[in-house]
Structure 1
């Protein structure tokens, strides 16, 4: 069971680089959390004075030049919910970047080491979830700190008996992933709503829908190769045996109705309907074993991007008609061709399944062996790629002819001399 505390007596220090949770420029304010946090009655609150984390520097980022004298060590990278921004946890704080146009929009450097192993954004508002990490963590790795950057302080925390593997945020929920358990909290008051047991989940695999509708949550099941889908509106749980091997990566479409999964083999990616668990499509990344690092649907669920340790990002065309109600997949003359098949697909009944596989429409080559995560950009037919080495790529693919993507932009977002 987690314990929690909320810190009263706000000390406003507005940060213009973040929008308020009630800013109407991005989202309906009624759908965003109002962070008036109070301990729930069924849990024992921890003291409000938290001695387990260090004070932050009150000076603005420009005044923290000594901390930025050398390139930081990157501990974490993740996109926000609409892929318009990304967050980087480093060995002495965290940074927030805009994807298009690329620029650093904010950094927070902590004064005594202060490694951040998880940074989860809530769209573009000032509320973040932080977990300590690295050799000198800013916070204990078994705590989730709710950080309000308008106040430059933590306004709440959730404490656990084991290390936090990942955090997922929605406007109405906080989802905390441990090694073998997942906790779902109400965002407004941190009340525990649901607990889920999973198979060993060291990567903290979990995905939540971000559409305005009901919450769909996907996590590993209790068996190898199994995923569990929670439909909270209908109070239904669906188990899908997605692969024979261990699940290493999955992604949800924005509305939560499509699920893409990959196993430890890393050769095939499967797309399922989360409502009935049916297999809708199967695409092939390659023939040899690989580690899949990330999967991402485009906003209209027309494309799927895949990154792996083979150094290639693949984009696949999704030909799912009616698989996800409410998503418009009507195609114009310039819309995509279907994913190419093997030239030997005419004898697919004789030769192994490999020869009838659907292959990617477009590819982009990177450094083999390095870790990259991928998302679709806000400009049409663009992909954003982030590397654990600090690399940022924005590429464009041809939806009709496919082939090699065109690199539009490259930056190293960890370079201290970079001017933003």
Structure 2
């Protein structure tokens, strides 16, 4: 038994569901294929819930010797690594370090800006259509500092952002106490980034977007994306109901994208950053009004529908390695010293993986060696933020519309692929704006 569609989108996280919605809006018959029983159960579920409109500059690799020495000791809360994973991660980490130079960061910020600046507007449009506006509060987030040195650095970083028409309030200790009266003393100041949206149930938001996709006639099938294979004139993938054939295929598998593209002959300096979260009940009548990052402590607290979500920084490890929630163990006493957390609401922390590329930009566009194969992954810490705007850009390229921004910074070819005899690099680079085959 086989079925057919115009497009199969592999992966039903925020990136895949958003791409499916945008393609559907442009008249394509789209099927989402996902191994989980419903949308939004993977990386899209476990995050701080921020639609990070203010994050023009990327999360760069530290380059000063003091920070490098501190991280090398492997005792921090904001970063942790498995020594056994470092050889495999080396190609990614070396490139990540080089791209984190001051010039590199400025270049990356220019490339990321068109996506970041449209991220909130694209979410708001989908939220209105899916009836999920109540899942987002436009309260921004707060970054608190415990030392003059970290506060001074935060102020310098914020100054760079003020030229992008962003609202950023500088708070002293008293000002922070006014906005978050249940935080304990200890922070000397804070920055309130007012533009981002705060989502109270990220996984639930993806489910709402998927429900809109289904309501509009889309299909959701349980299947194994790793079975994707080329079958002229298109692609096929095995689902629980049999083979699904489609003219175009979109790889939107987040941290599992390499399971597909490597089989097809592509090699990327792809890296994984794992992260953990755990929900807590607040003690007494304590209320957290905004997501709050403890910049010196290396963790973030976010008010969610389920409770107060404590999220950790990055863990550099093999994707399938057993959980090592040492960052959570380090963060919990610090977080309880900042906000009155009661008992955890789960027995074990949740763990997920972030798909990362060393230039801190996603891959969005056509796969250069294959007709009808499209890529939308590598959003690092900003999958929730960039899912809808990435889906729009991809759908514009796939359907022959003029893209709202130049897609060149997001092409796979930037990593040095040289193309087979039957498709030159220049042809592959230009293919992103060609109409999809009819």
| TM range, smaller chain | under 0.3
The TM-score with structure 1 as length reference comes to 0.24
> Which has a greater percent of helix?
2
Query: TM-score normalised to the size of structure 2?
Result: 0.23
- Which gives a bigger RCO, structure 1 or 2 (Cα 8 Å, sep 6+)? 2
Higher strand share: 1
